Each structure stands twice: as C-alpha cells, then as structure tokens.
Chains A and B, each alone.
Chain A
Amino acid sequence: MAAGKEIRTQIASIKNTQKITSAMEMVAASKMKKAQNRMEASRPYSEKITNVIGHLANAHPEFEHPYMKEVGELKRVGIIIISSDRGLCGGLNTNLFRNILKQVADYQAKGIEVDICTIGKKATSFFKNSGLTIKSVLTDLGDAPHFDDLLGTVKVMLDAYDNDEFQQLSVAYNRFANTMTQVPTTAQLIPMVASDAEGMDHRWDYIYEPDAEEALSALLVRYIEALVYQGLVENIACEQSSRMVAMKSATDNAGDMVDELEMVYNKARQAAITQEISEIVSGASAV
C-alpha cells in the first residue's frame, strides 16, 4: 500500500490548492464588482471631456495647440502600457504584451523607434529586457488608483512630446467588454485624431480665459490624463474578472484531478484487498 499513501498525500495537496484558488476566485469576484463601479464612476468625466474635445475640433481656435496639429515625419512613437501589478490573471497581460510587440515590430519595420512608459509591475518586468527605452515607470497602484498618481508619469510623456522626442503618443490597455471578454486596445492620444462631428458648420470659436493657449493646454492635458485614467480603471476591472475566470477554471481542474486520483486510489486499495484475501485463502488451503 505504499502507492496508496502517496496518492493520498497528493490528493490532500491538490485539495489545499483548490481551497486557495476558490478563495481567490471569490475575492476577485467581489473586487471585480467594485472595480466595475469605479470604472462606471469615472466614465462621465472622460465622456464629457471627449465631448468638449469634439466641440473644439469643430470650433476654429485662433490658437492651434501643438497636440492638435498633425506632425510631419514620424520618427519615434511613445506608448503608455497599462498592465496589472499581480499575476494569476490568465492571459490578460500576455495578450496585451503580444499585441504591443506586434505593433512595435510593425513600427520598427518602417524605421520608427518606440519609447514606452510602463504602468504596473508586469509590464515593467516584461519590457525592461525588450530593448525599448522606458521613459517612466509607475507601479503599486493598488485596486483603487488615485487620479493624481498618474500625473507625474503622464507628464514625463507629455514633456517628451513637447521636446519632440517622439511625434505620436498612444496608450495600450485591456478594454473591459464584459466579464468574459477583455480586448487589448491601443488608442492614439496625441496628435488628436480629429473627429468630424455632425452639423456645426458655421464658423465659431470659444471665448478663452485667461487666454487660448493656457485654457487649451489645461483642457488637453486633462483630456489625456482622463483617457489614461480610464484605461487604468478598465484594466483593473479586466484584471479582476480575468483572475476570477482563471481561478474558477483552476478550481474546476483541481476538482477533476482529485476525482481522477481518488479513482486511482480506490482501484489500488481494492487491488490490495483482493490480493490480501487471495493470499489468506491460498494460505488457509495450504494448511
């Protein structure tokens, strides 16, 4: 019965793992709800500010802000990559990184260099060996990131854009479609992609206070920060839902393994008993 004991310990250890994964599943499920609420709460801001930017594209500002101008030649691009701090969330980060690497390869094929900014530990450790220049890093944001945590990181990238270190800036994150689906997404931040909104053809412009440059800069910087923040909270919701799904399947798999091992264990036990009986019987008949 040596094998029997081994199998029993194995079953016990798998059951322990199962307990952990099912606990993680439940934790992720409750965190997901909160993360989703936060995502919903930050939506009005980013939607409204996108609206204003839409108006602005239709207005004819006397002052043209650098973020709204099309640049000439594209030599370098910047990408802000948003990932999770922790692992055990299925293929969430890997899918995003693969998506980004593909884009980077496309850029490099065209002779365009790529600078990156990483948010989250996973992206930082993944990309630091990739040969791309990391401009800024932000980690340990926790489950409820504060808007202000982003300011410094985003500022580094905006400053670099202002200094013409790169001519395009995008943000890459996982978009939350629903609990089961997370979509790796890359959105261009600057220069702004002009959207031709409906109807307002006549020439008009805002009154700016204190002046056009200052008001526009303040608005555009906030717009970019809002988009990055929105990406961040969506990514957190994605992380939790993806972890929940991953842990659920881990728990199920552990259950299957336990069933299988129990079957093997019972068979071994039965075989041992049968053997013992037949030994006793044959021993008795010999006497």
Chain B
Amino acid sequence: MSMIQVDIVSATESLYSGEAKCVFAPGDSGELGIYPQHLPLLSTLRPGEVRVETESGIESIYVSGGIVEVQPTVVTIFSDTAIRAHDLDESKALEAKQRAEEEMANADTDHDITSTQAALAESMAQLQLISKMRGKKR
C-alpha cells in the first residue's frame, strides 16, 4: 500500500513528521480524510484533532486551527499557535497603532535615554578613534 508523507508544523516547532497510511483533519467545511494520491487541496482548519494513521497505530495531535496543503504524496499541516479571532486581531492591531501614534506625538519633545545613549556611544567611538590615531602618530 502506498504511503503519504505527513508534516505537521507550528510556528515554533515541528509537531509531527513521518509516513502515514492516511490522515484525518478538521477542515473548515467538514472533516477531511486524506489518502495517498489525493488531488491538490488547500483548506483552512478548525480547531480540533488531527489523526495520523501509521503502520504502528494512530497518532493524535491537537491543532488550534490552521491550514492544510495536500499534494498527491505530501500533506503539510500548518498549525496556529493560538485560536485566532477576528475581533482579537483587530484589537491587537489597534493597540499597535496607538503606540505608534504616541511615539510619533512625542517624537521631538523628549530626548529619551536611548537616543542620548546612542549619541554618547557615537562620540565615544569618535574619541577612541582619535586617540588611536594619535597613538599611531607618536
């Protein structure tokens, strides 16, 4: 019986990699059962269980949503690291925007520590160079 290569990865680690007889994944529009020689398929995933049937038994891996790509001999599952909700992403985006506005607003007024430090480091480097050059002249 032909086998299918299965890779399950998340952004921070590889969750599973190996040969399997078939794979079941929780597709957004219904459970997907994938056997070797499946047609190319691209689907989003619901949070749920991915089951990988291998020679030695069934591996079960939880994914919190993601994407599955199917090629005739390879299945790749991209697992999300967290459940994504549109509203949640939206509020995070707003937060990031606000921070940017704050930073822009007090751009010129405060000479904060970091920029002063940068200036200091620069003049230190210049001084060092000067003293080095003087040392060479001597």
Contacts and interface: CB of A to CB of B under 8 A. Distances in A.
A152 B28 contact: no
Interface in A35-61: 38, 41-42, 44-45, 48-49, 51-52, 55-56, 59
Task: Please tell me the size bucket of the interface on A.
Answer: 35 or more
B3 interface: no
B27 interface: yes
Given A152-B92, A219-B67, A44 B43 contact: no
Interface of A is mostly: helix
A206 B41 CA distance: 5
A59 B117 CA distance: 52
Given A214-B44, A219-B67, A45 B114 contact: no
Nearest to A218: B44
Nearest to B91: A152
Contacts of B1: none
Contacts of A52: 42, 69, 76
Categorize the interface residue count of chain B. Answer: 35 or more
B67 A136 contact: no
Contacts of B67: 215, 218-219, 222
A136 B97 contact: yes
B14 A41 contact: yes
A42 B117 contact: no
A209 B115 contact: no
Given A206-B41, A222-B78, A156 B97 contact: yes
Contacts of A148: 81-82
Closest 9 CB pairs of A and B: A152-B92, A209-B43, A136-B96, A137-B99, A155-B93, A147-B11, A206-B42, A125-B114, A128-B107
Interface of A: 38, 41-42, 44-45, 48-49, 51-52, 55-56, 59, 87, 94, 117-118, 121-122, 124-126, 128-129, 133-139, 146-148, 151-153, 155-156, 159, 204-210, 214-216, 218-219, 222, 225-226, 229
